[in-house]
Amino acid sequence: MRTWKVLIADDEAIIREGIREAIDWNEFQMKVVAEAEDGEEALELALRHQIDILFVDLTMPIMDGISLMKQIRKNLSKCRIVVVTGHDEFAYAQEAIRLQVDDYILKPTNPSHLREVAKKIQQQLTKELQQSEYVTLLSKQVQKNFPLIRQQFCLEWIHGRLKEIEIFAQLQFFKLPSTCPVQLAVIYWQEFFSTKLLMSEKDKQLFFFAIENIASELLEGKRKVVFRDTVGFIVICLWDWVDEELFRTIEKTIKQYLNIQANIYAAEVEGELTKVADAYEICKKRAYSATNISPIVRRAKQYVQEYFSDQTLTLESVAQSLNVSPVYLSRIMKQELGVSFVNFLTEVRIKKAIQLLVSTQLTIHEISERVGYDTQHYFSTAFKKVVGVSPNQYRKGAFLFKEVREVLL
């Protein structure tokens, strides 16, 4: 059990002895570790022994009791202070009240009163110790379960169950940026949704862990939080913008190392912290919509998204890579996506061009080459047809074309 350390400070030896001998200190888990006859000596001994309780006379030489108490409050803030006073020291006692002393005993010492004071302080110190131990235990439990608690917060956040002020407070608690994220993405693992009832829990957890690891490593340096939702999506909340190219790299790396097909669907977060829930719903809708397309169309989309910068990319070259006829591929893409192959390729290229116009200082000519156009004129014509303005006009007033960016991105 904890033994509380006591210091008695009084310039009268008989008073010090009277306090020391008046009660059995062991009964209250206390021990008198030092005595002092002036305030200066008392301060030195208090700091040396790191005392828990100070019995202090108000009128001592060199450093009086009030000055000593101020120093104790400054250096040993949790120390309990009991004033030893006479009836004629009322003015000093008032100052002691201001310094929040714990109790008083009058000279000469009354053993019965001293016992009451000691008992009260013992109870207070024991209660504080228990509270401190509980807080320490709770802190350890929080640290141990930190990922789980953070995930629970993130789930409540994306499902729109928290107010702005609650989100802000918890972001600070979890040491995440307290500003609004710029982007949210979900990783959709197709095999899990199609075979989850046949997969062991252990295998499922291993695959989820591996996917999260790959995504986190490739997004290193980006401010983010990665977690799983309740239906099987891996969610990535981003405070730094990630372009489509990096998302495709993550998909390819997952395929390369895990031999499973995972797709990433992203949405921009706009406005307040609570708008993260809206972005999450957008990502889910995109993911669920993609599940309704056939494997051939899915592979064609992935091929176009990977090789759109190739100026020679055509319906025929994509069909050849998938071992299907161009006529069949054209028909099934139109049927499932609602757009022709050419229009889909144009959308992918314009989408990438918009990202480059907003986020880089590349010239229009350089951007046209990067997105697969052999001439700047052809690129500008296609861009204006889709967006409604030329690439230069878009770059100058990008903020005015937010709705266009939302539709394409």
What SS3 state is found at 31?
strand
Element spanning 264, H or E: strand 262-268
The confidence score (pLDDT) of residue 109 equals 85
- Whether residue 322 contacts residue 360, with contact meaning beta carbons closer than 8 Å, is answered with no
* Torsional sign, CA 119, 125, 131, 133: negative
The helix, strand and coil proportions of the chain, stated in percent and rounded to the nearest 5, come to 60, 15, 25
Q: Residue 140: is its pLDDT beyond 80?
A: no
Position 336 confidence tier, pLDDT thresholds 50, 70, 90 = confident
Q: How many CB atoms lie within 10 A of CB 241?
A: 14
The confidence score (pLDDT) of residue 95 equals 59
Q: CB-based contacts of 313: which residues, under 8 Å, 6+ apart?
A: 304, 307, 345, 372
The confidence score (pLDDT) of residue 135 equals 77
Residue whose entry in the numeric block shows the structure tokens 């190739």: 310
Question: Whole-angstrom Cα distance, residue 195 to residue 58?
Answer: 80
Tokens matching residue 126: 């024991």
Q: Residue 137: is its pLDDT beyond 80?
A: no
Please give the DSSP secondary-structure letter assigned to residue 100.
T
* Average pLDDT score over residue span 331-340: 87
Please give the DSSP secondary-structure letter assigned to residue 338.
S
DSSP for 221-271, written as a single string = TS-EEEEE-SSSPEEEEESS---HHHHHHHHHHHHHHH---EEEEEEE--S
Q: Residue 245: is its pLDDT beyond 50?
A: yes
The confidence score (pLDDT) of residue 81 equals 93
The confidence score (pLDDT) of residue 399 equals 45
Least confident of 202-216, 241-255, 310-324, 385-399: 385-399
Q: How many CB atoms lie within 10 A of CB 2?
A: 9
What SS3 state is found at 54?
strand
Angle of helix 65-75 relative to helix 39-49, nearest 10 degrees, comes to 20
* Average pLDDT score over residue span 110-115: 92
> Considering only CA atoms, which of 358, 361, 359 is closest in space to residue 397?
358
The confidence score (pLDDT) of residue 181 equals 95
Question: Whole-angstrom Cα distance, residue 172 to residue 178?
Answer: 6
* Average pLDDT score over residue span 206-232: 92
Position 98 confidence tier, pLDDT thresholds 50, 70, 90 = low
For the chain, state the CA radius of gyration: 36
Domains of the chain: 4-130 (3.40.50.2300), 160-290 (3.30.70.1230), 295-396 (1.10.10.60)
Q: Residue 402: is its pLDDT beyond 80?
A: no
Question: Whole-angstrom Cα distance, residue 5 to residue 46?
Answer: 9
What value does the mean pLDDT of the chain take?
Answer: 87
pLDDT per residue as tens digits for the range 173-217? 888 998 999 999 999 987 776 544 456 677 778 888 999 999 999
pLDDT per residue as tens digits for the range 263-312? 999 999 988 999 999 999 999 988 887 777 788 888 898 889 889 999 99
The confidence score (pLDDT) of residue 28 equals 95
Question: Whole-angstrom Cα distance, residue 159 to residue 115?
Answer: 58
The confidence score (pLDDT) of residue 196 equals 47
> Considering only CA atoms, which of 147, 240, 177 is closest in space to residue 167?
177
Position 32 confidence tier, pLDDT thresholds 50, 70, 90 = very high
- Whether residue 145 contacts residue 137, with contact meaning beta carbons closer than 8 Å, is answered with no
The confidence score (pLDDT) of residue 45 equals 97
Position 99 confidence tier, pLDDT thresholds 50, 70, 90 = low
Least confident of 139-148, 176-185, 188-197, 230-239: 188-197
H-only helix segments in 145-200: 146-158, 164-173, 190-195
Question: Whole-angstrom Cα distance, residue 259 to residue 273?
Answer: 36
Q: How many CB atoms lie within 10 A of CB 386?
A: 17
